[in-house]
Amino acid sequence: MLKKIVTAAALATLLSGCANGLSPVGVGLITDVKGPITATTAQGSKQGTSCATTIIGLINKGDASIEGAKANGSISSVASADYHTKGFYPFYGKTCVTVTGS
């Protein structure tokens, strides 16, 4: 009986704060959504992307910042910034920020 309780507690802890990211509709079992961060009236001729990933909430790495995306696209002035979150909860998640500008 104690083994079942410990196993259930460990499973609940493992699943409680795992692989998730930004999403306008929440993070479900399988997530593949895009959403806006910001936009101006200017049109962007360049594009840059930066991403961060998580594996069961234990291994988290990457740079999903607007500054990272600007650097990757050689952008100095941002016209728009959007994100794309994909994942299979609670095992894997990836969020990418895409910036357009000049």
User: Does residue 90 have a cis peptide bond before it, meaning omega lies within 30 degrees of 0?
Assistant: yes
Q: What is the pLDDT of residues 33-92, one digit of tens each?
A: 888 888 887 778 899 999 999 998 889 999 999 999 999 999 999 999 999 999 988 889
Model pTM? 0.72
Say what the pLDDT of residue 12 is.
Answer: 47
Say what the pLDDT of residue 16 is.
Answer: 47
CA distances to 29, 30, 73 from 33, rounded to whole Å, are 12, 10, 22
Closest CA to 18 of 55, 47, 51, 52: 55
